[in-house]
A and B are shown apart, each in its own frame.
Chain A
Amino acid sequence: MALTIISLMKQVPLPSEMRMGDDGLMDRTKAKSIINIDCSYALEAGLQMKNENPEAKLIVCSMGPPSFEESLKKALSMGYDEAYLLSDRRLGGSDTFATGLAISTMLRHLGFGKGLNEDFIIVAGRQTSDGDTAHVPSQVAENLHIPQATFIETADLIDGHIEAKRIIEGGYQIMKLPLPCTLSFTPTGIPPRRPTLSGAVRARHSEITMFNIDDINLSDENIGLSGSPTIVAKVTNIKSERAPVKMAEGHNEIELIDSLIDNIKSGKNSLEVKETKAKKVKKRPEGFEEVDFRNGAKGILTWAEVVKGEISRPSLELLTPARHLAQQLGNDTKVMTLLIGKDIGQLAKELIAHGSDEVIVVDDERLEEYRILPFASIFEQVIKDKNPEIALFSATTAGRELAPRIAVKVKGGVTADCTALEIGEHINRKTKKIFAPILESKRPTYGESKLATILGFVCPQISTARAGTFEVPTPDNNREGIITPFSPQLGKDVFVSEIIQTVIGEGGLQNLFNADIIVAGGRGAVVDNLQLVQDLAEALKEQGINAEWACSRPVVDEGITEYARQIGQTGKTVRPKVYIAVGVSGAVQHIAGMKESDTIVAINHNIKDPIFANADFGLVGEYEDILPVLIDKVKNGFKFGLEVK
């Protein structure tokens, strides 16, 4: 049988038109819809594989309401051969766990899976713009028991195996995977082709195969709200109003820079706080049954990710919420950390110093580099052994694929990319039950405009925490803790994927998403082709700051730099601690991509430009004069307020 390339695709509302229903779930009825951007890159990746393997069959699968037909037709018009839609009202309210199960059940029904037709590749988008979890590809792979690689930029099918370029923090990896496997794609590879008119004519006259859950033998308790281990408990607005800008004053660049630095040191202007009514304290209803659903599960498990022989910073940050939760839970709740790698025993003490009570060490020469299958298997075994109530991962590329895969193994829920983690309780007024204590995982959603609180009712309650949100705890070298070696059972089958090469350093502009300071050059900073902008970023890096440089759209239009550096509506949306806009006028399209930055510094020659209305600190001047002075200050230790941290 010939190879089948299966593309998983979701239709999403245009991000600018997203609305939410009163129930906190997505209201898909009003907004104009598009193929989720990441999914469209996966569609293209599938078409590219077909170029090299003309006999391959291309199929596209989706799950959602019948209106998804529009996007499936588009996939057909791009060149896909067949389209399948799993559509059933009973699927409404499914979380990622239930979605992963439903999609993999559909694929099995179509004859794909272990023990069935194994000559297939699944291509999917990294994540969707209306969910932002990046869980489903991992969960489909786990349900089908096949290897996976996520955050893939490009993939080639060579001699019956996949060679894929995987984006990781600050770099990339070249991976080799056997078939069948699941690949999830970032929107940074080959852009999706546009349908041809002849393709659209063909698509109009083709049928889409629709399934309901009975057709694929999926029972309704496994899907929808009842099959979902997590629920959205609450959604609140995130306010992001900025106080008026503080402008630097001075007669020359030296005075201006001194004034700017003084301003930054003295802090932003604050908004007038409107008096808000004191929140009503909700009374705990009486006569409700209190449920402790933990069933004896106890403790918090975190993962210590090792990169280049060191514990990654986000993994240390993770110990802050872990300790906080342990304290809230009280009752001698322990923080346990799983440390996996080769010759990493000495790192355990560092984890204890930062807040771990117990470090579980798996030291194995085969585990020098992170790979999902052995790591997921180790977690499964440790969870079985330690029975923690909560498991936390940092939301790195590794954490975001590992957590959902583990969740499927333990049949639990997972919440992605949290910015706050608290212990609370959940009152179900229908069943008159109070679930407590429960982990409240809070995550920004809907283009960072809302904060959703997600609850899971299966232990361990799994969450990934956004890197850079929590501070690294102050280490205490006298802290005591125990170190427990652990020997997992690992069969050959978990080592089927290989890492051919890991490159960390420049390149991989994913770092724009993680940088603490971004220096962005606009049209007003191109006289020297952004050299001064790059110099400023470089000077910050020399000071040990995770800095990166970027640009606004006109700079890309003029071919001065690559599209990957573009910030704004049609480029990247970033939220560094400090965003320094140099010669950026501040068109709304640009503001949309950076307005969530903690602090915005604007350096621009025209005081009337809108950038100043969107900045905390401003300086009016010619950047060619200003930046050299500023770079000197940075070389002498000025770090835009990041000195203290």
Chain B
Amino acid sequence: MINNSDVISTNVLIVGGGSAGLATAIELANRLKEKGQDKKIMLIEKGSSIGSHILSGAVIRPKVFEDLLTPEEFQEIPFDSKVSTDVTAKLSEDGEFELPFHPPYMSNSGNFVASLGEVCRYLAKIATKKGVEIYTGFAVDDMVYEDGKVVGVKTKDTGLDHNGIKQKNYQEGTVVKADITVLAEGTRGSLAKKVIDKYNLDEGKSPQIYSLGVKELWSVPEGNIEEGAVYHTFGYPLKDKSEFGGGFIYGLTNNRVGLGLVVGLDYPDPTFDIHASMQIWKTHPYVSKFLEGGKIIEFGAKTLPEGGWHSIPKYYGDNFMIVGDSAGFLTTARLKGIHLAIRSGICAGQTAIEALTKNDTSEASLSQYENLVNSSSIYKELYPIRNMRAVMQEGMIIGGLKMGIQLVTGGACLAVPKVEADMDTTKKLSEYKGIKFKDRFPGKLEFDKKLTFDKVTDVYYSKAMHDEHQPPHLVVNNPQEFQKINIEEYGLAEEAFCPAEVYELHFDKEGNQSLRLHAENCVHCKTCDIKSPNGGITWRTPYGGDGPEYNYM
């Protein structure tokens, strides 16, 4: 039950202004116009503006935009440049080998390199023009239920101090009641997590598994890289079999380069550090040659849901739908989720309009969403490779072979390993037998602040800011257990995996260890919520408007 004095209402509420949420809004607005109906569509976004929390590679498959937008609108999409070169290379410590062919699903012919933030800003403009009311800088992490059913959300209360005590500028959050609530929060959405949990939407599914992508945007001297050039790397510095992932280097207009390293969070080494791996990766001559003489402009990090078909929860219920990364619509084999996010938004938008017309937003009515997804390109793309990510746990070679078999068999594969949640794959310090991360790269973990950066310096380039006057948005769920398990047994794996130095292991004079939390550094990647051993950390939304200020990520 809600006991709030500040209540507003709308027909459709979309939580999250990324590609999925904006596509839902636009599709809905288009259909409303077709039908001559007048319904209120409200979209709220926690970033200070649309795009400020958007980060992607990105190489975009444009096809789906043609279905969402008019030809005139499609023409104006601010893609950065058309893919011109497309190379995949295997890196080793002392060299590289460019593959003479594209791995399956990896061809980027006809695709565009883009800043997804720019594309989202454009979509937001279109949505606004079509009557969608977009409110940025409002964070939500509570659903509102009535009679056990979703009826809307409540924005965060603000004006609390570090301990949650109301201050003189306290403002109660606003309850937004909606006929349909669409959760489009991106990976590991705080509300999606609650709804999935409340209604057991993941029953019978594999756990969702994730990758973390750490990205930098550079400005480089003319001639370092061609616009539209796309390079993907695998191998160095990642360890085959246990660290699944690779790097990307994209040539952008105005002599800019977007580059990053994406690594699966199902690795075992509790000291493994993806941010540091990305720094080491940049020192490989194959990568560093693109950056020579340049300087960093932006930094950011984001997780990607990579579980694929088997990890997608049921993504609708009474009065709500889940779209995009929040539902897990992403094709690992292509390293792409934007086109699926938009497709899911289109499906959700179409479902919503029919439901509103029928005045029936029940689960049965919204099950149309699943039908639409299953007859869309989402199914066609995800189902055949449903076992792909699971077999990659066995490494690029065996996994690659099994993947090849799947392509022949339409996705069936013998001996598919069981997928474990990422937080369960980390080994305790005492149980991890491999060489620890920092011993693998002697001398490479001193960052020169020209080519390579420590986390705090990189965070500076994310422009992340958080109001100091608020309860920490990273919640240690059980401080006693955290001390015993996460700190003493795992040596604070969070310190290693967090790309933004939010977690620090502090030693006092007597050698006692404790956690120091620097919530202000957070870039909202949510890795801690995903990877903390024993589910030690819950990532909650901080106040709206806080977090990174991405510009061209």
Contact = CB atoms under 8 A, between A and B. Distances in A.
A610 B460 CA distance: 14
A46 to B, nearest CB: 12
A563 B167 CA distance: 15
Contacts of B384: none
B135 A201 contact: yes
Contact of B173 (A196, A200, A610): A196
B162 A589 contact: no
Given A197-B8, A527-B509, A588-B460, A190 B173 contact: no
B345 to A, nearest CB: 22
SS class, residues of chain A in contact with chain B: helix
Interface string A75-100: 00000000000000000000000000
B57 interface: no
Contacts of B329: none
A191 B138 contact: no
A44 B169 contact: yes
Nearest to A203: B135
A310 interface: no
Interface string B119-144: 00000000000000101011000000
Contact of B468 (A196, A570, A608): A570
Contacts of A570: 465, 468, 520
Given A204-B133, A554-B518, A193 B169 contact: yes
A558 B504 CA distance: 13
B174 A192 contact: no
Interface string A194-219: 11111011001000000000000000
B346 to A, nearest CB: 27
A193 B543 CA distance: 11
A557 B138 contact: no
A200 B155 CA distance: 12
Contact of B456 (A191, A195, A200, A587): A587
B418 interface: no
Nearest to A563: B468
A194 B6 CA distance: 15
A193 B159 contact: yes
A196 B135 contact: no
Interface in B445-472: 446, 449, 456-457, 460, 463, 465, 468-469
Interface residues of A, number: 31
A557 B468 contact: yes
B174 A196 contact: yes
Contacts of A192: 169
B171 interface: yes
Contact of A200 (B7, B135, B158, B162): B135
Interface string B146-174: 00000000010011001000011111111
Nearest to B49: A32
B176 interface: yes
A141 B6 CA distance: 37
A390 B543 CA distance: 50
Nearest to B135: A200
Contact of B159 (A16, A194, A200): A194
Contacts, number: 78
Interface in B525-553: 543-545
Contact of B174 (A47, A198, A556): A198
Interface in A147-204: 190-198, 200-201, 204
Nearest to B460: A588
Contacts of B446: 608
Contacts of B162: 559
Nearest to A74: B137
B25 to A, nearest CB: 16
Given A196-B172, A527-B508, A587-B456, A558 B516 contact: yes
A197 B176 contact: yes
B252 interface: no
B8 A201 contact: yes
Contacts of B463: 16
Given A200-B138, A557-B468, A589 B168 contact: no
Contacts of B159: 193-194
B44 interface: yes
Given A556-B468, A570-B468, A589-B460, A197 B516 contact: no
Interface residues of B, number: 39
Contacts of B8: 197-198, 201
A200, A523, A559 — most chain B CB neighbours (10 Å): A200
Contact of A194 (B135, B449, B517, B545): B545
Interface in A50-89: none
A48 interface: yes
A405 interface: no
A13 B62 CA distance: 35
Interface string A590-607: 000000000000000000
A527 to B, nearest CB: 6
A554 B460 CA distance: 15
Nearest to B506: A523
Contacts of A197: 8, 44, 135, 138, 155, 173-174, 176
Contacts of A608: 446
Interface string B42-75: 0010000000000000000000000000000000
Interface string B100-117: 000000000000000000
Interface in B315-351: none
Contacts of B169: 44, 47, 190-194
B171 A196 contact: yes
Interface centre among B137, B162, B171 (most CB of A within 10 A): B171
A246 interface: no
A204 B8 CA distance: 14
A563 B467 CA distance: 12
Nearest to B544: A194
A197 B140 CA distance: 11
Nearest to A586: B456
Interface in B2-52: 6-8, 44
Contacts of B133: 201, 204
Contacts of A48: 168
A553 B543 contact: no
Contacts of B170: 193
A196 B516 contact: no
Nearest to A556: B468
Nearest to B470: A194
Interface in A353-370: none
Interface in B493-529: 508-509, 516-518, 520
B284 to A, nearest CB: 23
- The CB with the most chain A CB atoms within 10 A, among B167, B169, B469, is that of B169
Interface centre among A197, A559, A570 (most CB of B within 10 A): A197
Nearest to B154: A197
Contacts of A557: 468, 517-518, 520
B516 A191 contact: no
A192 B446 CA distance: 41
B136 to A, nearest CB: 9
Contacts of B543: 194
B96 to A, nearest CB: 31
Contacts of A558: 516
Contacts of A556: 468
B176 to A, nearest CB: 7
Contacts of B174: 196-198
A194 B158 contact: yes
Given A200-B135, A559-B162, A194 B171 contact: yes
A198 to B, nearest CB: 4
Contacts of A588: 456-457, 460
Contacts of A201: 8, 133, 135
Given A554-B516, A589-B460, 14 more contacts: A47-B169, A190-B169, A194-B159, A194-B543, A194-B545, A195-B171, A197-B173, A197-B176, A198-B6, A523-B516, A553-B468, A559-B162, A587-B460, A608-B446
The 3 closest A-B pairs by CB, nearest first: A197-B174, A193-B169, A194-B158
6 contacts: A191-B469, A197-B173, A197-B176, A557-B517, A570-B465, A608-B446
